[in-house]
Amino acid sequence: MTDVICPYCFARAAASALPYRCLSRGGGSVSRACDPVRDEVWEAFKGPAIGAQAAVRGPLFHPRRGLRPRGGRVPCPDCAVPTPTRVCKECHSDFPSDYCDQESRIIALVGAVSVGKSTCVTVLMHELRHRVGHTFRAAVAAMGGDTQTRDRDLERDLYDLGLMPDPTTTAARALNDPLLYRLSLPGGRRGTGTRHTALVFFDAAGEDLSGIEAMNRYTGYLAAADGIILLIDPLQLPSVREELSASGPLLPFEPAPQQRIAADVATQLRSHGRRGSGGRLHTPLAVALTKTDMVRPLLPAHSPLHANARHDDGVLHESDRLAVHEEVRSLLIGWDGGELCRRLDRDFSRVSYFGFSALGAPPPAGAPDKAPPGGPQPVRIEDPLLWLLAEQGLLPVRRTNRRTRGVAE
């Protein structure tokens, strides 16, 4: 088995070395069920908000040497009841039953409060189940009871009730649990097989990265990330606010320091030795301009941000990505004098710029907690994630150069 990265504390361990948690509900060959015990390690990790009673859980055990799981389950040595629940050695969080059976990709979502991270993930997962999933022959499913519940509630609120998600809870108040999904893509040389990947989305407010206590909570998350999506709200850029103020769109109360958030992310990664050659960080960084529907008056008439990319052949087109990259980079340079782009160019070796609208239109006037009439109609919501997956070799890319019209890798 391969190593497993805990999606909660981001500790790494061999899957074969992970303990199991007894179900403590009897029914095995031994008449007496195991008594639940207080898991002080998990209680300390979760904090006092969970309550002492919730920390009383099934005891942990290691399977007997040489015992192989049957159907993903192993019997408890005391009560003989089979259990599928493997547990992190460090924080004692329970893993979804199939999390350890596939490779994982941790995607860090970072941005200021109100930038739209929860909305982004909700709409992105919806598109992966429908339009984007159909194009790339992909399937996505929530993993574990917590993610299944949150995913279902967020989808219902946004798509059925037309309610926008609440802003991300900051680390000063609580540590948000990750959202876990199993992404299934065509695999093998001819695409006849299936390749499963666990996607871990951890929703962090950028302001959390500057405080010592909150920084300790998120530093492992950023260090373990296979890719980072840095969300930039154009409505929080002073120059954009000035240009749009006359048209009267609903603006955030206070602009967030985007450059500081980017600098804090780089600081966190450097502290964990993520620097590559030349001193720049090697973690792929997707810089995504959100809420492009709100800045349409500022976009060129033929901007690629006005419409979704076409992936009819199930391949990413490098020419389209580069067109968006240059467009968004040019916009940001014009809006803040290039300060953010210069910082990112110095800090990261792999940066690509994107722009998307999760909703396709602004919320109704005077009702920022409501989705636009007709529900979300996203534009390019999938682009940052698809690029990060391609960087991991999970999606084919058609690259264009002088010698060839297009080559899919």
Q: At 51, phi and psi to the nearest 5? A: 90, 145
81/133 same-domain check: no
> Whole domain around residue 136: which residue ranges?
102-408
> 330 pLDDT exceeds 50?
yes
State mean pLDDT over 88-117: 85
Is the same domain home to 263 and 187?
yes
Complete DSSP assignment for 210-269:
GSHHHHHHHHHHHHH-SEEEEEE-GGGSHHHHHHHTTT-----SS---HHHHHHHHHHHH
Residue scoring higher pLDDT (55 or 406): 55
Residue for token pair 């159909």: 134
Whole-number Å distance between alpha carbons of 330 and 336? 10
Whether 263 and 276 map to the same domain: the answer is: yes
**Angle at Cα 180 formed by Cα 209 and Cα 141, nearest 5°?**
150
Which of 99, 115, 144 finishes a domain? 99
pLDDT for 276 equals 62
pLDDT above 90: residue 248 = no
109 with 64, same domain: the answer is no
13-22, 24-33, 291-300: which range is least confident on average? 24-33
- Percent of the chain predicted with pLDDT > 90: 39
CB 100 within 8 A of CB 12: no
Same-domain status, 79 and 168: no
Q: Do 394 and 249 have their domain in common?
A: yes
**pLDDT-derived band of residue 169, with 50, 70 and 90 as boundaries?**
very low
Q: Please name which of 283, 287, 285, 263 lies closest in space to residue 223, comparing C-alpha atoms.
A: 283
Question: How high does pLDDT run on average in the chain?
Answer: 83
Whose structure tokens read 């050695």?
Answer: 89
Residue range 31-53: mean pLDDT, rounded: 86
Domain co-membership, 225 together with 112 = yes
pLDDT at position 142 is 92
Question: Model confidence over 355-408: pLDDT tens digits?
Answer: 999 999 988 877 778 889 889 999 999 999 999 999 998 998 988 764 433 334
Q: Are residues 218 and 163 in the same domain?
A: yes
* 8 Å CB contact between 152 and 203: no
The last residue of a domain, from among 59, 76, 99: 99
Q: In this predicted model, what pLDDT tens digit does every residue of 204-220 receive, in sequence order?
A: 655 555 554 455 556 77
Domain count along the chain: 2
The answer to whether the CB of 48 falls within 8 A of the CB of 113 is no
Checking if the pLDDT of 171 tops 60, the result is no
- Of 147-151, 174-178, 188-192, 253-257, highest mean pLDDT: 147-151
